[in-house]
Chains A and B, each alone.
Chain A
Amino acid sequence: MMEFHTPISSIVLVDLSLLTMLLLVAIAMLRSRHLFAVVMLSGIYSLLSAAFFVSLDAVDVAFTEAAVGAGVSTVLMLAGMLRTARREKVHSPRRAPVALAVVVLAGAALFYATIDMPAFGDPFAPANDAVGQQYVEQTPNDIAVPNIVTAVLASYRGFDTLGETLVILTAGVAVTLLLGAGSVVGGRRVLDKEEDE
């Protein structure tokens, strides 16, 4: 099998700075008790991830992350935050040596596992070798659309996308029912009865 190395270029510096900023934003989110700041930082986190996806040449994923993660999620988190307290309750953390040990071990195992991962863009990686290669080769003949991502999403894997759309619909229905805008019985808003007397 051929050796494959990721070419080192200025894009690596961009990646490193993006990942550093992601880490810093994540730490800031952990340390902040102010929920509004946490929501805003999570929006920034999504935007930085979108930028990182662009540098990985995954523009479709980046687009979705920017629109959903940085856009709609932030708005929904804000709307949810307005229904709760503005600040997280202060609690004094207890020392938990077992938990710390578990986290350190799991983290070390994950770092160890990254050694086995294929290099970025490796054409012989399992993800690119089998069916991915086939999609790249066959899309011009089978589907004849320039964007292979769309060809996979809407045509090769159209049934999956139908299921995903159903998931989105289910989420919408569940939120509608949970937040009391209607009921299964009559379709009308149900108001809580007075409980006193």
Chain B
Amino acid sequence: MSVDHLILRVIIKLLFAPIILFALYVQFHGDYGPGGGFQAGVIFAVAFILHAFCYGLDETKKVIPERALQIAMAIGLLFFAGTGLATMLLGANFLGYDAIDPDSTHHAGQHYGIILVEWGVGLTVASTMLNIFYQFSGREPDIDQEDW
């Protein structure tokens, strides 16, 4: 087993779970403090980018395959738009979240709606960032001039 960059590997192993946890906190705490789907998605992707840096891209691709990312990118956006369509089916405007819980006295529907669309944003951003990173670093090296 290779022990290159042992300190970095140990540190990243320690930090991986807290980074994911922080991403989830930012994701679901966006109503109350700074943050939201966009920032959470980026932080989530960073955890896996760190993993790829230290353990190699092939190991990370075992955890999240490239194909899954490309599907997740689309699902996030469709989830966002789907929330809008759902509120239309409930009889409100596109993305009129109050229709989700119309009897609420404290706009609970708005909370549900914001959490739902932020989830879609987070999924799309996280998978897109990770996918772009995969594409950049996973590309086969260009052929040298001498090899032609």
Closest to A65 in B: B39
Within 8 A of B (CB), among A132-156: 142-147, 149-151, 153-155
Q: Is the interface of A mostly helix, strand, loop or mixed?
A: helix
Q: Chain A: how many interface residues by the 8 Å CB criterion?
A: 44
Within the complex, the shortest CB–CB distance from A60 to chain B, in Å, comes to 5
| A–B complex contacts, Cβ < 8 Å, 13 sampled | A60-B35, A63-B34, A67-B46, A79-B133, A83-B142, A147-B33, A155-B114, A162-B81, A165-B124, A168-B125, A173-B73, A176-B131, A179-B135
B39 touches A64 (CB 8 A): yes
A interface residue numbers (CB < 8 A to B): 59-60, 62-64, 67-68, 71-72, 75-76, 79-80, 82-83, 142-147, 149-151, 153-155, 158-159, 161-162, 165-166, 168-169, 171-173, 175-176, 179-182
B42 contacts across to A, CB distance below 8 A? 64, 67-68, 71-72
Inter-chain CA distance A67–B39, complex, in Å, is 6
Given A64-B38, A162-B84, A166-B77, A72 and B66 touching (CB < 8 A)? no
A76 touches B132 (CB 8 A): yes
Query: What is the size category of the interface that chain B forms with chain A?
Result: 35 or more
Q: Is the interface of B mostly helix, strand, loop or mixed?
A: helix
Given A60-B35, A64-B38, A159-B94, A171 and B110 touching (CB < 8 A)? no
Closest to B35 in A: A63
| Candidates A144, A150, A180; contact of B139 at CB < 8 Å | A180
Inter-chain CA distance A146–B127, complex, in Å, is 28
Within the complex, the shortest CB–CB distance from B35 to chain A, in Å, comes to 6
B110 touches A147 (CB 8 A): no
B35 contacts across to A, CB distance below 8 A? 60, 63
A145 touches B111 (CB 8 A): yes
B97 touches A155 (CB 8 A): yes
Within 8 A of A (CB), among B85-144: 94-95, 97, 106-107, 110-111, 113-114, 117-118, 120-121, 124-125, 127-129, 131-139, 142
Closest to A145 in B: B31
Inter-chain CA distance A183–B69, complex, in Å, is 16
A62 contacts across to B, CB distance below 8 A? 34
List the 6 closest pairs (A to B, CB-CB), nearest first.
Answer: A172-B128, A79-B136, A158-B95, A144-B107, A59-B34, A145-B31
Given A147-B32, A154-B118, A172-B132, A83 and B139 touching (CB < 8 A)? yes
Inter-chain CA distance A145–B35, complex, in Å, is 13
A147 touches B31 (CB 8 A): yes
B117 contacts across to A, CB distance below 8 A? 154, 158, 161-162
Inter-chain CA distance A103–B106, complex, in Å, is 55
Closest to A189 in B: B140
B46 touches A71 (CB 8 A): yes
A165 touches B114 (CB 8 A): no
